[in-house]
Amino acid sequence: MTGGAIRLHQLAKAFDGVPAVTGIDLDIPGGQFYSLLGASGCGKTTTLRMIAGFEKPDSGRIELDGRDVAGDPPHKRPVNTVFQTYALFPFMSVADNVAFGLRYLKTSKDETKRRVGEALELVRMSDFAKRRPGQLSGGQQQRVALARALVLRPRVLLLDEPLGALDAKLRKQLQLELRAVQREVGITFVYVTHDQEEALTMSDQIAVMAGGRVEQIGPPEEIYSAPATTYVAGFLGAANIFDADVIESRAGSAVCTALSTTVHAAVNGVSGPGPAAIVIRPERITLLTPGDAIDPGCNVIAGTVSEVVYLGSSTQVHVDVGQPTALVVEVPNHAGPRSVIQQPGAQVQCLCTVDAVRVLTRSSTPVITDPVADSLVETGLSAPAAR
Ligand code: ATP
Band (356; pLDDT cuts 50, 70, 90): very high
Mean pLDDT of 186-210: 95
Mutate to test the pocket of ligand 1, among 24, 45, 215 (most ligand atoms within 8 A of CB): 45
Task: Report the separation in Å between the CA atom of 359 and the middle of ligand 1, taken as the mean of its atom positions.
Answer: 31
Q: What does pLDDT average to over the chain?
A: 88
Fold assignment, 230-360: OB fold (Dihydrolipoamide Acetyltransferase, E2P) (2.40.50)
Tell me the pLDDT tens digit for each residue of 318-347. 999 999 999 999 999 998 888 888 899 999
Residues ≥6 apart with Cβ < 8 Å to 63: 6, 7, 8, 9, 69
Query: What is the C-alpha separation between 205 and 218, in angstroms, rounded?
Result: 5
Least confident of 124-133, 200-209, 342-351, 371-380: 371-380
pLDDT for residue 103 is more than 60: yes
Cα atoms in the Cβ-side hemisphere of radius 13 Å centred on 145: 27
By the 8 A CB rule, do 358 and 266 touch?
yes
CA atoms of 141 and 195, how far apart (whole Å) = 21
Cβ < 6 A, ligand 1 pocket: 15, 20, 38, 40-46, 194
CA distance 313 to 333: 6
Q: At what angle do helices 109-122 and 168-185 cross, to 10 degrees?
A: 130
Q: Where in the chain is CATH 3.40.50.300?
A: 6-224
At 79 the pLDDT is 92
Pick the residue whose CA is nearest to atom 7 on ligand 1.
45
Inter-residue contact 66 to 78 (CB < 8 Å) = no
pLDDT band at 252 (very low <50, low <70, confident <90, very high): confident
**Range(s) of the chain covered by CATH 2.40.50.140:** 230-360
H helix count then E strand count, the chain: 9, 20
Reported as a pLDDT band with limits 50, 70 and 90, residue 34 is: very high
What is the reported pLDDT for 372?
A: 39
Residues 290-310: tens digit of each pLDDT: 678 888 889 999 999 999 999
Distance 98 CA to ligand 1 centre (A): 29
Predicted pLDDT of residue 251: 81
Please determine, looking at this structure, whether the domain spanning 6-224 carries the CATH number 3.40.250.10. Answer: no
CB atoms within 10 A of CB 121: 11
Average pLDDT over residues 40-47: 94
**pLDDT value at 371 more than 70:** no
Strand partners, 254: 249, 265
Model confidence pLDDT, tens digit, residues 162-196: 888 888 888 888 899 899 999 999 999 999 999 99
pLDDT score, position 4: 92
Cα of 45 from ligand 1 centre, angstroms: 7
Q: What confidence score (pLDDT) does residue 380 get?
A: 41
Give, using CA atoms, the residue closest to atom 28 of ligand 1.
15
pLDDT above 50 (res 349): yes
Lowest mean pLDDT among 26-35, 192-201, 283-292: 283-292
